[in-house]
Structures are given as C-alpha cells and as structure tokens.
Amino acid sequence: MFKPISLLCFAPAIILVAGLASCDKKDNPDTVAPQLRKSIDYAKLSDTTTYANFFVDNAGAKTVDLSNGANRLLMFRAINTYNGTAVGTGATLDANVLKNMFANTSSPYSGTLASLNTSGVQLRSVTASSLAAADAEKERQTIEAGFTAIATASKSVSATASEGKAGKLGTYLVDEKGIEYGQIIQKGLIGAFQLDYISNVLLSDKSLAADNTTLVAGKKYTQLEQNWDEIYGILTANPIYGAKATATSSGESFIGSYIWEYNKEDFPKIHPALLKGRAAIVNNDATTLKAQVAILRAAMEKAVANAALGYLGKWKTAGTNTAAAAHAMGEGLGFIYSLRYAKLNGGDAAFSDGILTNLIYSAPNGFWGLTNAKIDAASTAIKTKFNIAG
C-alpha cells in the first residue's frame, strides 16, 4: 500500500521537486510521496464526467487506457454472440471454437474483432483468477465443459425439447435435462470473469498496492492507474457508465446491466465511484480510494445475489410456460454458480455447488424435476447467506 505521510515531512527536497501537498495529516491523512500528478478536486467530478477523457497528466496528455478491459469485454460479448447463433440461425456450435475464443488461441476472432487476436489479453487466464491455481483451473474447465454441452445441444436445435430430449423450448436451446447452457455460460462468466477479476483481483489489497509513483514503460499511466482503468473497460463500453439507462433498459451489458436490474439502489453510485477512485489514485488518497472499492464490491455482489433470487422467483411465476421456466432457471443456475465469487459475503464453491446440487444435479431429469420446495430451499439459503430480507 501507500507509503506513510511521515516520509513526506522528513524529505523536504522531494517535496520541493514534486510540488506535493502539505504535510497536514489532519487534512490529508494518506498523502504519500512522490505524487505523480497535480491533485484533482473531487468536487469537479460529476455524473456527466467522461471517464476516459478527464484524467490527464501535467502536460495535458490522457492517462486512461481502457484497451485491456475493453478487449476482454469484447471477447465475452463475442462468445455470447456465437452461442446465440444456434437458435438464431440453426447453426451447430463448435466447442473448440469457444475454447479458442476463451483462451484467445488460434486466431478465433475475425472481421471487426480480428484485432482481438493480437491484443495480448484473454478471458481464460483471468477467469477465477483469485483462486489458488488448482481451484482456478477447475473452474475454467467448468466453463469449458459448458462449451461442450452447448455444442452438443446445438446438434438438436431443430428439434422440440422435452423431458429427456434436447432441442428448443420456445426460442431457447436446452439439453435433455432442460438446461440452457447459453445462460449458464453467460451468467457463469459474469461471476467467474467480471465479478471475480474486478472485485477479488483488481480491487484486492494486492492490486491496490501496485506502483503509483512511476509510469509503466512507454505508457502515460502507472500500474495502479491501469488496474483501475481495466475495471472500467470490463464493466462498461459506454463513456459514462449508466448514462444510457432508461425506465426499461440499463444501456449496459452483463454485470453492468444486472446492477441496474437487481440493485437499483447502488446503480447510480457506480460511475461516481469509478471516477472518484481514479481521482483518489491520482491524489494518492488511500482512504477515499478504499471507500470507492467498498462501494463497487458490495454493489456487484448484491446484484448477483438478487439476480439469483429473482430468477428462482421467475421459475415459480412462469407456471405452465415451460419455455419461460427453463429460461429463468438457466439464468438462475448461472448466477447461483457465480455466488462462489461473492467473497465479501462468504461465498465459495461449497455454498453454490450445494445449492446447485439440491436444485438440479441430484435429480436425473434436472430442470424437469424441479419443485417449489427445491426453489424455496435455494432462495432461503441465499437470503440467509447474503442477509437479504423477505
């Protein structure tokens, strides 16, 4: 973490050269030396401040580079789009294509996304990356098993699904157990990639202790600035997070969208927290930075937990609409899987796997064997774990 303020007070030469703030510990208890940029007045940040353009160095050059995060978000979107081609066009999916897209190997991206092949980033390496190596690899293989499952189900896309038979239920592709793997993969990556990498890796104490006093070689930013910028790029493709929201749409995607849908209270806090956190990094203000970290981590976990509950509820309200029930359960299962990355609330693999087993995996017919009692038991477990009333 940052060096203590006392170093400033006993190093006047450094203060003179760097033009740093005063040593008044009461006014700025976490100021450190050397501060690379001019301090930012937090009052100048607003809900309409554009993240990528606001932060500049003392010469006026932009210091924000969203490339790594944005490219990973594009990869996530590309996997989701490819999976959608099965029901959209009747295409048979190839699990190896999905694995190559996940690991960014064998130049899997084409057309307007071709530059991703040489971007130097991938999803696989950052998926479940807060976990020990063996556990992380296990979770990555779980995601890849989903690729195989959806590819197998896609071979039956022209059939009508029923208990024991893969195919389409309404507009949704499911396997013989009624599992919609497109949703499992999407919601699973929301947890294993977005939630885990942002919350448990990039916002971890280890990442927040990254170098903030020297520029990365050949770049305009420090490593700590780049860590924070990657969060922004993974969370949203919009210049201002949340600015496109309407009464009926978030204007965001993936976890950015579900914060709007399932955590309305915190949704408007996200962009200010992203801005203020970046400004706090410039100001070397650890106290303010940690406050923004707390906002972001809690908001994402709350959204994922509420989403899991919401889709369990939608299974119940779907009634005899089997297609709607299967779709709701596909989304719900993916979010329940993702609860293992909600570490602020004590989420882990044992917790989410236990719920998944009781709901689906212990029944030979999977989705077709669901009951109100199973749904209620899962909901109660989640509410208890996340201290959610109701």
Type of residue found at 85 = T
pLDDT given at position 1: 32
Determine how many CB atoms are found less than 10 A away from the CB of residue 303.
27
Determine how many CB atoms are found less than 10 A away from the CB of residue 250.
18
pLDDT given at position 23: 36
Residue 34 confidence class, pLDDT cut points 50, 70, 90:
low
CA distances to 179, 323, 334 from 365, in Å: 10, 16, 18
Predicted confidence (pLDDT) at residue 152 exceeds the cutoff of 50: yes
DSSP symbol at 160: B
Q: What is the mean pLDDT of the chain?
A: 92
Supply the pTM of this predicted model: 0.91
Determine how many CB atoms are found less than 10 A away from the CB of residue 313.
14
Give me the mean pLDDT over the 233-257 stretch: 97
Stronger pLDDT, 174 or 27, i.e. the higher one: 174
For 156, what's the count of Cα atoms within 13 Å in the CB-facing half-sphere?
21
Predicted confidence (pLDDT) at residue 174 exceeds the cutoff of 70: yes
Residue 35 confidence class, pLDDT cut points 50, 70, 90:
confident
Predicted confidence (pLDDT) at residue 161 exceeds the cutoff of 70: yes
Closest CA to 253 of 76, 61, 50, 93: 76
Predicted confidence (pLDDT) at residue 106 exceeds the cutoff of 50: yes
pLDDT given at position 10: 28
Q: Summarize pLDDT for 285-323 with one digit per residue, the tens.
A: 999 999 999 999 999 999 999 999 999 999 999 999 999
pLDDT given at position 135: 98
Q: Summarize pLDDT for 185-217 with one digit per residue, the tens.
A: 999 999 999 999 999 999 999 999 999 999 999
Give me the mean pLDDT over the 3-23 stretch: 33
Predicted confidence (pLDDT) at residue 283 exceeds the cutoff of 80: yes
Q: Summarize pLDDT for 324-377 with one digit per residue, the tens.
A: 999 999 999 999 999 999 999 999 999 999 999 999 999 999 999 999 999 999
Cα 300 to its chain centre, rounded Å, is 8
pLDDT given at position 390: 77
